[in-house]
Structure 1
Amino acid sequence: MPLPLLLFDCDGTLVDSEPLLAEEMSIGLNSVGLPFSPSDYLGEFRGSRFRNIVARLQASHGEVGIDQLNSMETTMRANLTKRLAQELTTIPGAKEALQQLSAYPSAVVSNGPEAKIRTALQATGLDSYFAERLFSGYTANCWKPEPCLHLYAASIMGFNPAHCIAIDDALVGVRAALEAGMKVIHLNRFPDAETTPENAIMISNMFQLPAVVRQLSQEVSPSTEPYYSEGK
């Protein structure tokens, strides 16, 4: 039986980049007068597109000039890239899960820029599992929580959404994949603060992932015909 496509989120699912990202966001946003703390990202905004966070903050604290925002974001991302290359680690159990699931077709689906995804995977040695199968919201021009990024990745990989399993730690990604019509596994590392949405399957750590994927694989049976969405 053909195996389903596994679509992995990156930040917080494969690599422990979110604390670094939250710190650099806080430094950058505060430098342009937008109050923001690392706990804000790790709480309310985890997994969200950066410009959506900026828009929310500007609505509460006032507009910032576009040139100033662009300069701040460039500096923030450059500093983050350096820290990812030097400090980044994998989420516990992620490498072991990828090793056990290596027979499955897989890809990374992330709201982050492709360069950031590549840096994170290379820094942690996970790049060999995915090669060029990286799908960024900035490349597809659509971001979670909209379903279009997952649908874009599935279409390029030649899979029907119903024959995909998405793995994500952030609620924006879980909801996006559910709306795309995929099976969804929620890596809920903060069960006291987050509730797994209905129809998603919760795991508390990545060591649990292979068994759940194998169980779901019995329910998700790809046809032998490739799938392409309209307009792709």
Structure 2
Amino acid sequence: MARPLCLLFDCDGTLVDSEPLLAAEMAVSLSAAGLPFRAEDYMGDFRGARFRNIVATLEAQHGQVDPDHLEVLEASMRANLNRRLATDLTPIAGATEALAALSHYPMGVVSNGPENKVRTSLATVGLTEVFGNRLFSGYTANCWKPDPCLYLHAASIMGFAAEDCIAIDDAIVGVNAALAAGMTVVHLNRFADAEETPEGAHMITSMFQLPTVISRLQKDRDRHAMLSSG
């Protein structure tokens, strides 16, 4: 039997339903900075993107914002968001159950968000012990999805080659990052009527489906290993 695959989970929108909270706080802060932005803009166009990349896109449309002013607003936004994450956050439906069913696999979290935000999110929904310190933040690694470097960084620290990892991500930027890294990718497509799963990724529409998909992928891998050794 082949070595168990390493499972690398995105956080926002995959494990925790934080995106509506993030979008609301982002709308307040960006609009205050003179960059018109609605919560639905995040959910429609920027889901999973790095905050500073969103700012750059808006500045190209509406003009530059004083960097010092923006830095203060971002700090305030993140503080407000962390307070809301600690009280209002809920897990994505089926995520807790999927993680319990997959507990025999090595698992990590790979997020474009700051590490303290990831830790707050996991603690609020009771998932801290599932992942321990196996948290990989773009702000810690200094690289962000859709660049494959963040997923490759996580795989390396976990002790796995990219081809031995399965990335589970809901955002297209994350799916594309993991595909570019050479990983097997499961796209949690919760908006299947409006969003297309990139070619090469396996689509699920609910985290309840994940254990079955992982089991099938592991069996395919074991079968291939047996044929190769025979």
Question: How is 1:61-100 mapped onto 2 (pairs within 5 angstroms)?
Answer: 61-100=62-101
Cα distance in 2, alignment partners of residues 220 and 164 from structure 1: 11
- Give the TM-score normalised by structure 2: 0.95
Counterpart in 1 of 2:160? Answer: 159
The yes-or-no answer on 1:10 pairing with 2:14 is: no
Local SS of the residue matching 1:184: strand
Runs of 4+ in 1 over 4 A off after TM superposition: none
User: How many percent identity over aligned positions?
Assistant: 64
- Cα 1:214/1:155, change in 2 over 3 Å: same
The yes-or-no answer on 1:103 pairing with 2:84 is: no
Q: Which amino acid aligns with 1:11?
A: D
Cα distance in 2, alignment partners of residues 68 and 25 from structure 1: 15
Cα distance in 2, alignment partners of residues 11 and 127 from structure 1: 15
Report how many residues are paired. Answer: 223
Which deviations, in whole Å up to 9, do the C-alpha atoms of 1:36-62 show, x marking residues without a partner? 000000010000000000000000000
Cα distance in 2, alignment partners of residues 187 and 119 from structure 1: 22
**What's the offset of the Cα at 1:128?**
1.1
Which deviations, in whole Å up to 9, do the C-alpha atoms of 1:184-214 show, x marking residues without a partner? 0000000111000001000000000000011
Q: Is the 8 A contact 1:12 1:169 kept in 2?
A: yes
The yes-or-no answer on 1:49 pairing with 2:50 is: yes
Q: Is the 8 A contact 1:163 1:220 kept in 2?
A: no
Which deviations, in whole Å up to 9, do the C-alpha atoms of 1:51-84 show, x marking residues without a partner? 0000000000000011001000000000000000
Cα distance in 1, alignment partners of residues 61 and 221 from structure 2: 44
Question: How is 1:2-41 mapped onto 2 (pairs within 5 angstroms)?
Answer: 2-41=3-42
Cα distance in 2, alignment partners of residues 193 and 148 from structure 1: 28
Local SS of the residue matching 2:121: helix
Q: Which amino acid aligns with 1:219?
A: D
**What's the offset of the Cα at 1:7?**
0.2
Q: Which amino acid aligns with 1:173?
A: G
The yes-or-no answer on 1:176 pairing with 2:177 is: yes
Counterpart in 1 of 2:60? Answer: 59
Q: Is the 8 A contact 1:162 1:220 kept in 2?
A: no
- Cα 1:220/1:110, change in 2 over 3 Å: farther
Cα distance in 2, alignment partners of residues 79 and 219 from structure 1: 45
Give structure 1 stretches of 5+ with no counterpart.
224-232
Two-structure CA RMSD over aligned residues (Å): 1.2
Cα distance in 1, alignment partners of residues 82 and 123 from structure 2: 11
Cα distance in 2, alignment partners of residues 73 and 81 from structure 1: 12
Q: Name whichever structure is richer in helix by fraction.
A: 2
Counterpart in 2 of 1:226? Answer: none
**What's the offset of the Cα at 1:26?**
0.1
Cα distance in 1, alignment partners of residues 24 and 160 from structure 2: 37
**What's the offset of the Cα at 1:220?**
3.8
Counterpart in 2 of 1:116? Answer: 117
**What's the offset of the Cα at 1:218?**
2.4
**What's the offset of the Cα at 1:219?**
3.4
Q: Which amino acid aligns with 2:189?
A: N
Give structure 2 stretches of 5+ with no counterpart.
226-230
Cα distance in 2, alignment partners of residues 80 and 56 from structure 1: 22
**What's the offset of the Cα at 1:149?**
0.2
Q: Is the 8 A contact 1:85 1:120 kept in 2?
A: yes
Q: Which amino acid aligns with 1:100?
A: A
